[in-house]
Copies of this chain bind each other. A is one copy, B any other.
Amino acid sequence: MRTINIGIFGLGVVGGGVLDILQKNRQIIQARLGADLRVTRAVVRNPGKSRNLPLEDVKVSDDPDSILKDKSIDIVAELMGGVDLARQVVMTALNGGTPVVTANKALLAEHAREIFSKAYEKNVSLGIEASVAGGIPILRSLKEGLAGDNILEICGIVNGTSNYILSKMTDEGASFDSVLAEAQKLGYAEADPTFDVEGHDAAQKLAILANLAYGTTLHYPDIHKEGIRHITPMDITYARQLGYTIKLLAIGKRRENMVEARVHPTLISKSHLLASVNGVFNAVFLTGDNADATMSYGRGAGALPTGSAVVSDIMDVARNLLVGIGSKVPPLSVMEDRLTQLEVMPIREITSEYYLRFQVRDHPGVLASLTRVLGEKNISIQSMFQPSQSDNPDEPVQVILITHQAKERDVLNSLHVIAPMEFVMGETQLIRIERF
């Protein structure tokens, strides 16, 4: 039986998971692949560190060249994260014609054109399944399962930390800060949670999903990123009373020569399937013009789920090697001469429905003033909700308006007009609404 030699960069959570899976499921992998997968080398920052991993047959070094210059390595697995060194490693391997499997969403989001073009130019396999939504084989479904579909909409819950926090806030009526503290204790949130709770992680995954869906390489910094820190238990409660759940969504939609690509908290109908995706779980809802609504659900992170995606990619790449081909599916879904350079639609240009929560003095005429300003911008209201009246005139009352479809620009301009009005007692909350 042929042996495929793998060199792994990084023996952290994901790298460790891959080693465990390759050992534990060696028989079943051999049966499916017709070859043996062996990790022969690993590169880590600190080779001397003791690790509870099956490393008996693995040469561990801190020198990237120990893998990159070893001609016996068939596949490079880049599982160390970070962008600079990872980029060097991946580009060097691809340049030398060695297939790469990577879980590195930051690298793929921020240097998409460079990485994918190199894979294309060299006709070498590039496996990226683990970069989005860990154990869910969503990229394969998107590129191959929906190969004949125009992708009309991408809607993902792709950050487990944020989904855990929002789920807990919803179940327990707790505040963002208290749930975050608990999540940190349980290991579901990092000590510095910024990357997760402010939408950056989800935006990187969205970049990859949208690039594959539309055969493009979006300029990553243009993606709108908005986190969940400003979501209050009050908003969650009012949203529920109105029939919605709040989720941090990564949304992608093709709009002629632009792409809407935005990450923000979103009100969705509580009867929609995405509303039932709770805790650290991820789900990606894709609408194709033929397949119609589809959803893929699973664990977005963790040693074994993410390791599972890496191993499936390694097997896919190994199958290419075994039948003697480079890549079978173009790395960015389309042939290189069909790649486009679509722009991200500025967030002010999108159209959406909005949940607007105003904090205002409790006196007659306020509602009329609010709706007049909105009306002047052609923003029409589909419902109004005033949860309670205040006994204390120094305390604001909450007025919630749900708009019909409106231009975000018009909504922002209206809020700009409303902000200095004398009856306004606090900042206005704006949350977009998504219908399916």
Q: Which chain A residues have a beta carbon within 8 Å of chain B's beta carbons? A: 17, 21-22, 24-25, 28-34, 129, 134-137, 140-141, 144-150, 215, 273, 276-277, 281, 288-299, 302, 304-305, 307-309, 311-312, 314-316, 319-320, 323-326, 328-330, 333-335, 338
Question: Which one of A17, A273, A307, A315 has the greatest number of beta carbons of chain B within 10 Å?
Answer: A273
Closest to A149 in B: B308
Question: Which one of A24, A323, A329 has the greatest number of beta carbons of chain B within 10 Å?
Answer: A323
Closest to A151 in B: B28
Q: Separation in Å of the A422 CB from the closest CB of chain B? A: 46
Please name 6 pairs of A and B residues whose Cβ atoms are closer than 8 Å in the assembled complex, sorted by A: A29-B148, A30-B338, A273-B277, A290-B308, A291-B309, A296-B297
Contact B319 A291 (CB under 8 A): no
Given A141-B140, A150-B28, are A298 and B294 neighbors across the interface (CB < 8 Å)? yes
Q: When the two chains form the complex, which single residue of B144, B290, B298 contacts A291, counting CB atoms closer than 8 Å? A: B298
Closest to A320 in B: B328
Question: Which one of A28, A304, A307 has the greatest number of beta carbons of chain B within 10 Å?
Answer: A28
By a CB distance below 8 angstroms, the chain B residues around A34 are: 330, 335
Closest to A339 in B: B31
Contact B308 A288 (CB under 8 A): yes
Contact A308 B146 (CB under 8 A): yes
By a CB distance below 8 angstroms, the chain B residues around A140 are: 137, 140-141, 144-145
Given A135-B288, A319-B328, are A312 and B32 neighbors across the interface (CB < 8 Å)? no
Contact B297 A334 (CB under 8 A): no
* Docked pose: A315 CA to B141 CA in angstroms: 13
Question: Which one of A129, A148, A328 has the greatest number of beta carbons of chain B within 10 Å?
Answer: A148
Q: Separation in Å of the A23 CB from the closest CB of chain B? A: 11
Q: When the two chains form the complex, which single residue of B25, B28, B144, B297 contacts A297, counting CB atoms closer than 8 Å? A: B297
Contact A136 B25 (CB under 8 A): no
Oligomer: number of copies: 2
Given A215-B31, A292-B298, A325-B325, are A145 and B137 neighbors across the interface (CB < 8 Å)? yes
* Docked pose: A63 CA to B9 CA in angstroms: 58
By a CB distance below 8 angstroms, the chain B residues around A298 are: 291-295
Q: Separation in Å of the A72 CB from the closest CB of chain B? A: 22
* Docked pose: A33 CA to B293 CA in angstroms: 23
* 7 extra A-B contacts, CB within 8 A, seeds A25-B290, A34-B335, A273-B276: A134-B291, A137-B146, A140-B140, A144-B315, A273-B273, A293-B299, A296-B296
Given A145-B140, A316-B147, A329-B319, are A21 and B308 neighbors across the interface (CB < 8 Å)? no
* Docked pose: A31 CA to B293 CA in angstroms: 23
Q: Separation in Å of the A360 CB from the closest CB of chain B? A: 37
Contact B292 A299 (CB under 8 A): yes
By a CB distance below 8 angstroms, the chain B residues around A333 are: 32
Closest to A335 in B: B34
By a CB distance below 8 angstroms, the chain B residues around A316 are: 144, 147
* Docked pose: A148 CA to B290 CA in angstroms: 30
Closest to A302 in B: B292
Given A145-B129, A148-B21, A315-B147, are A291 and B299 neighbors across the interface (CB < 8 Å)? yes
Q: Separation in Å of the A415 CB from the closest CB of chain B? A: 35
Given A32-B335, A148-B21, are A307 and B292 neighbors across the interface (CB < 8 Å)? no
Closest to A326 in B: B323
By a CB distance below 8 angstroms, the chain B residues around A307 are: 148, 290
* Docked pose: A117 CA to B291 CA in angstroms: 30
